Amino acid sequence: MPPVFAPPSDVALPLHVIDQDKCKDWLQRQPDHVADWAQTNGFTGACGQMLLVPGPSGKPEMALAGYGTPAQRARRRFVLAGAAEKLPKGVYRIASGLDPQALDIECLGWLLSSYRFGRYHHQAEMNAALIAPEGVDSAGIESLAAAECLTRDLINTPSSDMGPDELQAAAETLAQQFGATISVTTDAALLEQNLPMIHAVGRASERRPRLIDMSWGTSGPKLTLVGKGVCFDTGGLNLKPGASMGLMKKDMGGAATVLGLARMIMAAGLPLQLRLLIPAVENSVSATAFRPGDVLTSRKGLTVEINNTDAEGRLVLADALALAAEGKPDLLISMATLTGAARVAVGPDLAPFFTDNDSDAAALASAANGSADPVWRLPFHTPYEARIEPGIADLDNAPAGGFAGSITAALFLRRFAGASRYIHFDIYGWNPTAAPAQPKGGAGQGARALFAALTKMLSL
């Protein structure tokens, strides 16, 4: 069950959120027993501190949460979550200390703190429930939380239980929930429908390759989302070494993230025509695997020399993007765990994106700030086009040397997006170190920033 706010209650304990710089002043204004208790317990308002204050009967009469200084807050995404995770069992209401701009994000952080991946092992639940503060869009925040939890669950599920079949089932469940329609092209039908590179990448696996195509909404601008659904990436015949393969269950993180974004859009009932395309494959090894040196002809007709079977994401996305572009969307967005180079460039926390549209880039940058979803623009540097052009085919899927690997991968995709207004995200989809509201494991990236920017980008 996705996390939700607690229903209104008279017995909720008031929680005061205390800025470290204002802690002394605040305590001075309190009755002596409160100020003394805070002092005895060393409460200073530092980030993540939590203190229960007993009333005369010994029962807690309020809780205090440290909110730190602006400098401390700048180093974190969800501040209140750090204290909320330490609160004892009960229902709380925020009584003071958060301004309206911070309230939404801190509430989202609280809900996300209660996320657990409990499919294979019981995980203790979070103790503290929060009543939605007055004036916040509680349904909207719950929807953002549900979308993120969906994305996390899909990524966290190991490939043994999250192959192309299961990813399709997840898309079908979501479609059913929101009245979307879905069609799936599987295995040999991919060749009949001219989606040859999706077939080539996935054909070595017993878990057959497919393209999932979901549609929702009948009027308004056309938005098409494409997500990389590589349910496991062995690297193919260019097999990854063990250490690099360990996390490759998350190579469907782009698909998981666009499913989360689609959930936000549908739950909000945005007035647009949404299409979601997920090439779902396993990049596996067998006698039928595609090989280094092969030349594939794509849906678009461009030929691609395979110089590394581990650069498979751009191949499956290329056919999906070409199909997407044929539908003439007003905006086309792809999300993919596409390159190790993007991680080297910006690390696990930032989602790099590419666009030729300056106003979309500005809308995203400003939306990211208010969404606790940091993104950073990288360039579609056209002078590097020559690097993706090999000898005997139109395109090279893995330019030698690897310089600017995230950019050359993005340029490769742009060829297939054609004339579409196009944004591409090269995400990591994984949180390597736990932080409040951000457990180690699967993580949505870029979806909240995109959701918040859509109104502006599509003039909704």
Q: Which residues bind Zn ion (CB under 5 A)?
A: 230, 233, 251, 310, 312-313
Quote the least distance from Cβ 244 to ligand BES, whole Å: 7
22 is catalytic: no
Residue 168 binds which entry of ligand BES, Zn ion, none, with Cβ cut-offs from 5 to 8 Å by kind? none
- Quick note: the x/- pattern for ligand BES over 361-400, rule CB under 6 A, is -------------------------------------x--
**In the bound complex, what is the minimum distance in angstroms from residue 352's beta carbon to Zn ion?**
16
Tokens 């349910």 -> residue: 231
How far apart are alpha carbons 396 and 221 in whole angstroms? 34
Task: Choose from ligand BES, Zn ion, none: what does 319 bind? Cβ within 5-8 Å by kind.
Answer: none
For residue 456, indicate whether it is catalytic: no
Q: Which entry of Zn ion, ligand BES, none binds 340, CB below 5 to 8 A by partner kind?
A: ligand BES
- Name the residue among 168, 140, 144, 142 with its Cα closest to residue 154: 168
User: Which residues are within 8 A (CB) of 336 and not within 5 positions of it... i.e. 6 or more apart?
Assistant: 227, 228, 253, 254, 313, 317, 424, 425, 426, 427
Helix ranges (H only) for 296-384 are: 313-326, 340-346, 358-369
User: In Å, what is the CA distance from 328 to each residue of 51, 224, 422?
Assistant: 56, 9, 11
Q: Decide: is 334 part of the binding site for ligand BES (CB under 6 A).
A: no
Q: How far is the CB of 311 from Zn ion (least distance, A)?
A: 6
Identify which of residues 343 and 387 has a Cβ nearer to ligand BES in the complex.
Answer: 343
Q: Which is nearer to ligand BES, 341 or 368 (CB)?
A: 341
- The region of 11-19, 134-142, 167-175, 304-312 touching ligand BES under the rule CB under 6 A is 304-312
- Using the minimum distance from each CB to ligand BES, give the nearer residue, 104 or 312: 312
Cβ partners under 8 Å of residue 263, min gap 6: 143, 146, 147, 150, 174, 178
Residues present in the chain in total: 460
- For 146-192, strand residue ranges (E) read 181-186
Tell which one of 310, 319, 360, 396 touches ligand BES (CB under 6 A). 310
By CB under 6 A, is residue 284 in contact with ligand BES? no
- Alpha carbons 209 and 278: distance in angstroms, whole number: 11
Instruction: Confirm if 438 and 454 have CB atoms less than 8 A apart.
Output: no
**Mask: binding to ligand BES, 99-128, rule CB under 6 A, as x and -?**
------------------------------
Helix H or strand E encompassing 80: helix 80-84
- The correct pick among 44, 194, 215, 308 for binding ligand BES (CB under 6 A) is 308
Beta bridge partner(s), residue 334 = 226, 424
Non-local CB neighbours of 36 within 8 Å, separated by 6+ positions: none
Instruction: Name residues contacting ligand BES, limited to 335-354 (CB under 6 A).
Output: 337-341, 343
Q: Does 411 bind ligand BES (CB under 6 A)?
A: no
Element (H, E) at 15: strand 13-19
Nearer to ligand BES, 138 or 151 (CB): 151
Pick out residues in 214-253 that bind ligand BES (CB under 6 A).
Answer: 233, 251
Per-residue 3-state assignment (H helix, E strand, C coil) for 235-280:
CCCCCCCHHHHCCHHHHHHHHHHHHHHHHHHHHHCCCCEEEEEEEE
**Shortest spacing between CB 186 and ligand BES, in angstroms:** 22
Provide the annotated active-site residues: 240, 314
Return residues touching ligand BES (CB under 6 A). Answer: 233, 251, 308, 310-313, 337-341, 343, 398, 405, 428
